[in-house]
Structure 1
């Protein structure tokens, strides 16, 4: 017994010494986050018969930032997310991790996963470029095309390889994102495949991929993706130029997307093409006491798979035209889409409460009846954006491919205000007017009121209230609206939403 105790003690000492040696060899900084949020949610279906949903969301993170030497570092971030008291998995997609509810005698919760895990190498192979490889958040500029959807409990990260070249105050980057890998040799273990079912890309939601179609096994996928035809990858070329215009930053974009995750959609027996090229730019800065932002992007390429998702919405798109448009799985459909955005704001720093006013305009093109007749897909894809920052806090228009307006696009005219009535307090009020550029359909108006209190340097408290007044056009085109047979339903003309959130970072 004494020998066993000595052996165990020696092993413990060895582990401690190894930990000390590792700590001496690398600088490790730990941090994390705990973020509970209560929500009352009425915009499930805009149905008078449906009661509001009440729930608590939670995000818990623990991360380690490691500096191995002056050139090499690593970052690992664990994350757990869920809904208070929910059943298996806490409403989290994926393998059942066990119940969260307190009605069971043991806590079987194992919903912790890796949100980010990457390492960095500065001056990679002596080149003037820094390498970042692994699971990472890809955030560019104001989250318009690439963001982390930080409002959601899970947030968004991607398996990516990034090279950054710094030249003075300017930076140029290449980012490779492997968004979907549908592996053929191990079809039931890699890529989220399951026997006899399509790839699971998740439900509609923010971030680009979640709202897209599936790659059907019945179309060249019966034994897995043997020909590697069901993947999606993005090649991003981006710049951040600070030396061209005084007090402004210019960001050029070129994004090449090869998205074959639509294979098997519609009636096509082949593999529909969904190559997409997004090109454009953004300038943001200040001049004459005003803050401004202007940006514009054009998308070209093919849209044969997604064209099969265009719905027949009565007076907007007839069933006859739709049938001709999607014949052969949308064969021959070209992309011609665009997005423009503008912001002009003024902060009155020498006035009590430091008020600010911002005028806001966004226009995302859509697909109208003429486009369908001409074989054109005119709906702009917002890629990996953080839509919560742009299109109203009630998150009615998050679908990146445009499905939340039946692919008719979105026009947003808004005014945003804020003030600071007391130390560490900020009050914001935003008002949006929404319509569709294609077919010119009024969608409704949204009011967002937000209260932010900086309780301490580590803890921020936020509360918000929003109301959406839906027009008849919204009820016609938005898929979340509850409808009975014949588009009847008991649909309300408005919906409320509110929340209280505590965000502790350490």
Structure 2
């Protein structure tokens, strides 16, 4: 976004404020400034020095509601790394200044239980296992498209048509679209269920036509909670040759909170299985792709498994994890998460033997809510490589530390 665009946005906001005063429109401004320091020694090399850097993300949100059933949302975002501009005086290009979200939402269209949202928007389905905005990232994910929401008392269905890539080529060649529906069903006050169908369709469809379908369920019974998920992928994909997609993933996580104890300790156990490909030469593509997931929150905070299947070498992933959390103080939360990562299929090492262990990771995180607007989060992580990563990345353990502060305006 250039300077003239920024000036135009400011003029638009000022004009909107004036209109809001005349027409009694509801007008709201909010924002967030988030800073994160990271010390990264994730190279698996004992002689490699760590990298220290600072990330800053600033967001300005404007909501305009000229009528009860008409809403517009603007979110301008600046994402930067300290020191990335070439000069403290001459560099004002703001390369990472962007309109992260801008959309309008028409509610109860024609007095029917139908809402229509059009524009650029963040999208989160279920727990973000398949589609999420990746809030941890310094930029985050947003989609261009339309969502039509049809709802009743206990059911809410989102029908979406999203444009990931538009090449503006004849016949729409090279475009990639996301089409489908996500249905939220309220079975009981303590139970949540969602079903998803997501069709990734490239042009021509022989390049990619993959359908992901499955469900998510979360239940609470006293101090006991569980999350259950299953997704299956079918269709066709072409890289060197066309293959039939036959992939799946399943996850089960259970935890218990001892709410009667002062520090509210909780323990959880979980397992995720993502299928891999044991024979890349056949006509079946059996690697599960996590699509647009927020993988940071699931597969270790050190982010060795963000791009699945690339980061798992097409072998799939088995993640067995355990978590302990408690509140030592009213405003302080602490948790520790331990992961054991294995491949779903065997990896052939240089000596001809096979292995399936990627390694293990320990994440320790402290969260302090200073007041209702300002919070700190700090964490330390250690990854110990297994046989696969020792051969492909290095034999030494890796270390990572972060300290993040957030101001909500």
Give the equivalent residue in structure 1 for 2:225. Answer: 291
Give the equivalent residue in structure 2 for 1:451. Answer: 366
Q: 1:348 aligns with which of 258, 261, 268?
A: 258
Give the equivalent residue in structure 1 for 2:407. Answer: 504
The Cα of 1:500 is off from its aligned counterpart by 0.5
The Cα of 1:288 is off from its aligned counterpart by 5.0
Distance 1:385 1:346 in 2: 26
Distance 2:402 2:189 in 1: 40
The Cα of 1:417 is off from its aligned counterpart by 1.2
Q: Retained in 2: the 8 A contact 1:356–1:419? A: yes
Q: Retained in 1: the 8 A contact 2:162–2:177? A: yes
Question: What secondary structure, in the 3-state scheme, does the structure 2 residue paired with 1:134 have?
Answer: strand
Distance 2:39 2:22 in 1: 49
Distance 1:257 1:475 in 2: 35
Give the equivalent residue in structure 2 for 1:167. Answer: 152
Matches within 5 A, 1:73-472: 73-87=71-85, 99=86, 101-102=87-88, 105-111=89-95, 112-184=97-169, 226-243=170-187, 247-260=190-203, 272-287=206-221, 289-305=223-239, 329-331=240-242, 333-369=243-279, 372-400=280-308, 402-439=309-346, 441-472=356-387
**CA displacement, residues 384-407 of structure 1 (integer Å, 9 cap, x when unaligned):** 10001100000100004x000111
The structure with the larger Rg is 1
Question: What secondary structure, in the 3-state scheme, does the structure 1 residue paired with 2:238 have?
Answer: coil
| CA RMSD, Structure 1 to Structure 2 (Å) | 1.9
The Cα of 1:349 is off from its aligned counterpart by 0.7
Which structure features the higher share of strand residues? 2
Distance 1:296 1:68 in 2: 42
Distance 1:52 1:492 in 2: 16
Give the equivalent residue in structure 1 for 2:349. Answer: none
Q: How many residues align?
A: 387
Distance 1:304 1:110 in 2: 38
Q: Which runs of 4+ in 1 moved over 3 A?
A: 15-22
Q: Retained in 2: the 8 A contact 1:177–1:235? A: yes
Q: Retained in 1: the 8 A contact 2:181–2:198? A: yes
**CA displacement, residues 87-116 of structure 1 (integer Å, 9 cap, x when unaligned):** 4xxxxxxxxxxx3x43xx345142321000
The Cα of 1:259 is off from its aligned counterpart by 2.9
Give the equivalent residue in structure 2 for 1:310. Answer: none
Distance 1:429 1:275 in 2: 40
Distance 1:291 1:125 in 2: 40
Change (3 A) 1:16 1:170: closer
Question: What secondary structure, in the 3-state scheme, does the structure 1 residue paired with 2:20 have?
Answer: helix
Unmatched 5+ residue regions in structure 2?
1-12, 347-354
Q: Retained in 2: the 8 A contact 1:471–1:493? A: no
The Cα of 1:419 is off from its aligned counterpart by 0.6
The Cα of 1:423 is off from its aligned counterpart by 1.4
Question: What secondary structure, in the 3-state scheme, does the structure 2 residue paired with 1:444 have?
Answer: strand
Matches within 5 A, 1:43-58: 43=42, 45-58=43-56
